[in-house]
Amino acid sequence: MISILGKWHQDDRKSYRKGCPQFFIQDDRLFEKWDDRHVAFLKHEFLRLKNAVVLWTMHPWERDARLMKEALVKGPQAYGVIIEVASTRSSEQLLGARRAYHSLFDHSIEEDVAYHINDSRRKLLVGLVSSYRYEGPKVNEEIAKSEAKTLFAAIKNADKKNPIEDEEVVRILTTRSKPHLKVIFKHYKEINGKNIDEDLDDELSLDETMQCLCTPQTYFSKVLGAAFQNGADEHAKEALTRVIVTRADDDMKEIKEEYQKKYGVSLSKKIEDAVNGNYKDFLLTLIARGE
């Protein structure tokens, strides 16, 4: 595009303007005027591409640190990104992000989370960003069973005390290894007959945390689905760049499979239909990596 545009003479550019009535309106004072909506649209598309490229070329640690900081600054509706980053990364990846956060912002992430978040999610979020989970396969079945009972009791007691502020619930979710948590949820289903996420309808953050920890592909495909919905807000749409750039090297293949299963259409087809320009091409290239 740049090599073509850069070579156009004045006459070429005039022909372009006259030949595209959908972008340029003939004005009474005898010139072809850019349609304002399309200028805004182009600016927006270039911005999205720029954001995607900048995010893609960043070191993953810096990327995660900046994503968490941005979420803190944006406020409560963005705190889900903190849950996402803290729960879907490996222990070493999260440690790297914490290091980068020191360099970029002169504070520790847990310090900033403890001091800027004022709602019921604070305890959970401080714990999540501070975790360094064991990543081996060893699981203590007895402890997992007993912790499943603890979670069950806390959820049943939700009308008296919000489970997200229950110290035991937070401790279990923020310190146990991912394999251990999967065993807990298996026992939960045995005790209760229902999956734990079915019981957590009201507590979105807890539900998201559990999904991120145990079935991140389900979580990510849901986030992508929300980005494509009609009426999706800016925050939901930005998730498209964030999810694709941050997962392209990790579990993109599994996310694509999950997306296809859930929405009945391939992710690439959806991007083709819903997104434009170089930004679209960039996203499609990223999700095709490793194929």
Choice between 63 and 122, CB closer to another protein: 122
User: Is residue 141 a contact residue for another protein (CB under 8 A)?
Assistant: no
Residue from 12, 119, 135, 249 touching another protein (CB under 8 A): that is: 135
- Residues between 219 and 278 with contacts to another protein, criterion CB under 8 A: none
Residue from 31, 43, 132, 272 touching another protein (CB under 8 A): that is: 132
Q: Smallest distance from the beta carbon of 84 to another protein, in angstroms?
A: 19
The residues facing 32 across adjacent strands are: 26
Question: How many other CB atoms are found less than 10 A from the CB of residue 230?
Answer: 4
Residue 16 CA to residue 24 CA, distance in Å, equals 9
Q: Roughly what angle, to the nearest 10 degrees, separates helices 91-105 and 79-88?
A: 130
Residue from 53, 55, 78, 143 touching another protein (CB under 8 A): that is: 143
Choice between 81 and 126, CB closer to another protein: 126
Q: Smallest distance from the beta carbon of 135 to another protein, in angstroms?
A: 7
Choice between 177 and 211, CB closer to another protein: 177
Which residues fall within 8 angstroms of residue 107, CB to CB, at 6 or more apart?
101
Radius of gyration of the chain (CA): 23
Q: Smallest distance from the beta carbon of 198 to another protein, in angstroms?
A: 27
Residue from 63, 89, 121, 133 touching another protein (CB under 8 A): that is: 133
Residue from 83, 85, 87, 131 touching another protein (CB under 8 A): that is: 131
x/- track of binding to another protein for residues 151-190 (CB under 8 A):
----------------x---x---xxx-------------
Q: Which residue, 196, 250, 246, is CA-closest to 223?
A: 246
Residue bearing tokens 């975790």: 131
Sign (positive/negative) of CA torsion 47, 223, 89, 163?
positive
Question: How far lies 40's CA from each of 34, 132, 203, 234, in Å?
Answer: 10, 44, 38, 15
Choice between 32 and 110, CB closer to another protein: 110
3-class DSSP state for residue 89? coil
Q: Smallest distance from the beta carbon of 178 to another protein, in angstroms?
A: 12
Q: Roughly what angle, to the nearest 10 degrees, separates helices 79-88 and 216-228?
A: 150
The residues facing 34 across adjacent strands are: 24
H and E: helices and strands count for the chain: 18, 2
Would you state the structure tokens that stand for residue 266, as one six-digit string? 């391939």
x/- track of binding to another protein for residues 84-113 (CB under 8 A):
-------x---x--xx--x---xxx-xx--
By CB under 8 A, name the binding residues for another protein.
91, 95, 98-99, 102, 106-108, 110-111, 114-115, 122-123, 126-127, 130-136, 138, 143, 167, 171, 175-177
